[in-house]
Amino acid sequence: MRQLTTIAMDGTVFAAILFLISVGLTLVFGVLRILNVAHGGLYAFGAFTATTLAMRLLDLGANPYFTYLMLLVAPVIVGVIAGPLIERVFLQRVYGRAEAIQLLLTFSIFLILDDLIKLIWGTKPLFVSAPYTLLGEFSLSGIRYSWYQVVLIAVAILFGGALVWAVRGTRIGKIAVSVINDREISQAIGINVNRVYMGSFTLGAFCAALGGALIAPTIAVAPGFAVDATVLAFAVIAIGGMGNLEGAALGALIVGLLRAMAVHLFPEADLVVIYLAMIVVLVIRPQGLFGQVELRRI
């Protein structure tokens, strides 16, 4: 029973992290129909930026509670700079081209971002623990957890909810959905598709960076941690259905719980179990749990 609680708690925390990592990726795919391999790089940029800003702040002697502000400011900076830059300068040129090319384009950007991080921040790991330790810990079934982890879960739920509301409830969201469903008709009725694309990608970049920023206080950020996150994000959205927000949540939950189970019960299988789940889901339902199939009209 105790183990069940531990697994449930661990799984949920991990799921929250996964959701924050993946939601941006699925959003970009949903609107632009492009799988952004560079997503992991933006995530890492968010983490590093947030960490550095927080560290500077603490060096300057500011109130440690301001580091939380940095966790929100950093992703905005990254999103607003990287988003339009990548979308306008690079992505735009491969719309409509073969998918292989689009994938390779984002893969190249990933490689560039990965090295940029090394150039800007060096290769030594960075760690700012203030946001994490500041909130203190509590005990559950004899295991100690941090309140920060609970905050992560809360943020994931709130943020996910906000996104869903934004897509379903707001005018901008409905415009985006219109573009998703039929780009040509959207253009014909006067929607500025280019701006929707840029906005969506920027939002996706922001989400990626936000994920990185929020996770940064829990681990030491080092070059290369983007790589793991990228592949996990792929697995989550593939399972949930690419382009689907609820799917990302469900996928994150599934992967999170599975990983928690593996870590506590079969530690050697913790990597394998995630990919096995991905394969099982994709074989039974190729479009993912909440994904949609398109039948070509002839």
Site of interaction with another protein (CB under 8 A): 29, 35, 90, 93-94, 98-101, 103-105, 107-112, 114-116, 118-119, 123, 227, 231, 234-235, 238, 242, 268-272, 275-276, 278-279, 282-283, 286-287, 296, 298
User: From the CB of 114, what's the least distance to another protein, in Å?
Assistant: 6
In 145-192, alpha helices (H): 147-169, 171-181, 183-188
Which residue, 108 or 170, has its beta carbon nearer to another protein? 108
User: From the CB of 272, what's the least distance to another protein, in Å?
Assistant: 4
User: From the CB of 83, what's the least distance to another protein, in Å?
Assistant: 18
Which residue spans within the chain are E strands per DSSP? 137-140, 143-146
C-alpha distances (whole Å) from 58 to each of 48, 55, 62, 127, 189 are 15, 5, 6, 12, 51
User: From the CB of 32, what's the least distance to another protein, in Å?
Assistant: 12
User: From the CB of 65, what's the least distance to another protein, in Å?
Assistant: 35
Sign of CA dihedral 178, 40, 17, 231: positive
Which residue, 52 or 67, has its beta carbon nearer to another protein? 52
Which residue, 169 or 224, has its beta carbon nearer to another protein? 224
Which residue, 99 or 137, has its beta carbon nearer to another protein? 99
CA dist., res. 257 & res. 5, Å (int): 11
CA dist., res. 75 & res. 157, Å (int): 18
CA dist., res. 176 & res. 118, Å (int): 35
